Structure 1
Amino acid sequence: MKKLLIPILFLLILLMSACNNDETNGTANENPKESTTITYNSEEGPIEVPADPKRVVVVSTYAGNVAALGVNLVGVDAWSKSNPQFDKYFADVEEVSEDNLEKIIELDPDLIIGLSTAKNLDKLKEIAPTVTFTYGKVDYLTQHLEIGKLLNKEKEAQEWIDDFKKRAQTAGEEIKTKIGDDATVSVIENFDKQLYVFGDNWGRGTEIIYQEMKLAMPEKVKEMALKDGFYALSLEVLPEYAGDYIIFSKAGTQDNSFQETDVYKNIPAVKEDRVFEAVAEEFYFNDPISLDYQLAFFKENFLNSK
């Protein structure tokens, strides 16, 4: 009897070993399922986000960055919706607000993006993974790269950055050849009956003019607007902040009657027709779509100026 059991046990051992080998080999040969999430190191720490987000809601500022990277948006803020340069991207995208949580819930987002100052962040985080950025914490190109990392499109973001810097710097050399190395440029805007002048990192094309093109900033603007990014001033002192050239980010909905005053009309840049008026809504942001438009605007106006 013992002689019979030994061959049977041996066969069972061989069968079990073969099964185990088949299972092991099968696992090794199968392609592991790709992860559906990635970990993004946000300002608040690591957060799991979709590896391929399909329904993104941007509650403030960064809608243009997302659109430029070809990621689908289902909701964007009112400021982004008002930008004519975004029309073809956001025609079928809903307008949202961090105050209207019900609307955001209806859109069923898989990722929410906004400023760190956005309202109801705790509630937004209950709806979907929510990542926020502090405006100005990093420079405008690094900001786009960070959004590229968040959306799992870092390579695409870096490629655009490298190309844009080359184009902007080349344009800057052409413009300086035209207007002179020492010619100064101011960027102004009128909002809610208040005049503003801008530094080098507050949208309105300032990043292009001062950071990439290296065009000169008036000393008074350096003194008052460079640190905070903008400075509110009265019409009476505007001539002190006016450069040889002025970019006027102009909103048609605002009171622009100051342009009819003698103070404004007697500014040398105004008298010499060196004021380039831009549509304010197209100049607010510093995402790739806005920046490409602004760069074309500057090349057209400066290179054809007096």
Structure 2
Amino acid sequence: MKKWLLPMFMIVVLVLAACGNKEDNSKKEDEGANESSSADTITYQSETGPIEVPANPKRVVVLSSFVGDLLQLGVNVVGIDSWAADNPNFKDAIKDAVVVENTDIEKIIELDPDLIIGLNGIENADKLAEIAPTVLFTYGKVDYLQQFIEIGKVVNKEDEATKWVADFKERAAKAGSEIKAKIGEDATVTVAEMFNKQMYVYGDNWGRGTEILYQEMGLNMAEKVKEDALKPGYFAISTEVLNEYAGDYVIFSTFNGEETSIENAGWYKDLDAVKNGHLFKVNGNAFYFNDPITLEYQLKFFKEKFLQ
């Protein structure tokens, strides 16, 4: 090769190399952009199949009883159900949230959610899914603690949820041992509620502190409650027969200022638990759910009342 051709040859090589590097860099930038885009979402394996949801949701609408689960995980909730709105445990965290129902399609669109969570079987589920990724759960399909972990999976915080569950179970079991040592291994506890002038007793998985008392603490359910309420979760009774369902201790919740009229009723005064000072009154709105925030409130209440 002639010497004058060498510089020209080297120039061509350098130019081609530079072009190649530029193409490689452009390709890497494009790939990086794709990776960033895919990292913005995760896939949650829902009951009905995989759903692509935000990896870090910023505006969540909750159409069911899962508000406390999301608040515990530090997720911003912009839409809530009416029951959550009345829970004093959530008051500060939901002050800017809007109460919505699954039928409030236009209202939900205005909230501009990036994730919607609710219960299976609700009306307009298809329309909701057009607004934002929508994850629906069947109530009771998994136990209440696994439900929190499932919510954690949806919002990409499974580890945080799992750690809380392990810690909660340990603390609740310890409190249960202390309570049984105080009230006796054979003592029975009944969870009762007056709502809209109807009396109910509850099994071991229907909120109101039942999961803690029976599942985690291992306290005993009154036999008649076990017969009628354990399988369905709750059982409606007349006030006159409450004493037949009442255990040695009663957790009694009321709503809407019913407490005064109840305390003056003959059936209430005749309760053995009332006579023995073993009936503990609670705010129904604060005790209604079984999310982590409510569970913490319930656990603190039980420790204070049973161990005082």
TM-score, normalised with respect to structure 2? 0.90
The amino acid across from 2:36 in the alignment is K
Paired residues, number: 304
1:157-207 superposed Cα distances (whole Å, 9 cap, x missing partner): 111111111111111111111101110000000112211000011000001
Query: How many angstroms does 1:117 deviate by?
Result: 3.1
Q: Structure 1 residues 182-191 or 6-15, which shifts more?
A: 6-15
1:251 and 1:174 map into 2 onto residues whose CA distance is 30
Distance of aligned partners of 1:253 and 1:126 in 2 relative to their CA distance in 1, 3 Å threshold? farther
1:186 maps onto 2:190 in alignment: yes
Aligned to 2:41: 37
1:281 maps onto 2:279 in alignment: no
Query: How many angstroms does 1:19 deviate by?
Result: 4.0
Is there any run of 5+ residues in structure 1 with no aligned partner, and where? none
Query: How many angstroms does 1:150 deviate by?
Result: 0.1
Distance of aligned partners of 1:125 and 1:26 in 2 relative to their CA distance in 1, 3 Å threshold? closer
Contact 1:192 1:255 in 2 (8 A): no
Query: How many angstroms does 1:266 deviate by?
Result: 2.1
Aligned to 2:160: 156
Query: How many angstroms does 1:21 deviate by?
Result: 5.4
Q: How does 1:1-306 map to 2 (within 5 A)?
A: 12=12, 15-16=15-16, 19-20=19-20, 23-24=23-24, 32-33=35-36, 35-254=39-258, 257-304=261-308
Q: Structure 1 residues 17-26 or 111-120, which shifts more?
A: 17-26
Distance of aligned partners of 1:102 and 1:26 in 2 relative to their CA distance in 1, 3 Å threshold? closer
Q: Structure 1 residues 16-25 or 128-137, which shifts more?
A: 16-25
The amino acid across from 1:223 in the alignment is E
Query: How many angstroms does 1:273 deviate by?
Result: 1.1
Contact 1:200 1:207 in 2 (8 A): yes
Query: How many angstroms does 1:5 deviate by?
Result: 9.6
Contact 1:184 1:216 in 2 (8 A): yes
1:60 and 1:262 map into 2 onto residues whose CA distance is 37
1:214-266 superposed Cα distances (whole Å, 9 cap, x missing partner): 00111111111111111111123212210000000111344874543433322
How large is the RMSD of aligned CA atoms in angstroms? 2.6
The amino acid across from 2:289 in the alignment is F
The amino acid across from 1:83 in the alignment is N
Is there any run of 5+ residues in structure 2 with no aligned partner, and where? none
Q: Structure 1 residues 264-273 or 247-256, which shifts more?
A: 247-256
Distance of aligned partners of 1:253 and 1:101 in 2 relative to their CA distance in 1, 3 Å threshold? farther
2:104 and 2:206 map into 1 onto residues whose CA distance is 27
Contact 1:109 1:128 in 2 (8 A): yes
1:256 and 1:224 map into 2 onto residues whose CA distance is 28
1:141 and 1:98 map into 2 onto residues whose CA distance is 25
The amino acid across from 1:188 in the alignment is A
2:272 and 2:123 map into 1 onto residues whose CA distance is 44
Q: Structure 1 residues 255-264 or 117-126, which shifts more?
A: 255-264
1:246 and 1:255 map into 2 onto residues whose CA distance is 15
1:256 and 1:141 map into 2 onto residues whose CA distance is 35
1:23 and 1:67 map into 2 onto residues whose CA distance is 46
Distance of aligned partners of 1:139 and 1:234 in 2 relative to their CA distance in 1, 3 Å threshold? same
Kindly, what percent of the aligned residue pairs are identical?
58
1:79 and 1:33 map into 2 onto residues whose CA distance is 38
1:267 and 1:249 map into 2 onto residues whose CA distance is 15
3-state DSSP of counterpart to 2:200: strand
The amino acid across from 1:209 in the alignment is L
Distance of aligned partners of 1:117 and 1:190 in 2 relative to their CA distance in 1, 3 Å threshold? farther
The amino acid across from 2:16 in the alignment is M
1:301 and 1:243 map into 2 onto residues whose CA distance is 16
The amino acid across from 1:155 in the alignment is D
3-state DSSP of counterpart to 2:93: helix
1:30-55 superposed Cα distances (whole Å, 9 cap, x missing partner): 86426111100111110011111001
1:121-155 superposed Cα distances (whole Å, 9 cap, x missing partner): 11111111111111111001000000000000111
1:59 and 1:215 map into 2 onto residues whose CA distance is 32
3-state DSSP of counterpart to 1:301: helix
TM-score, normalised with respect to structure 1? 0.91
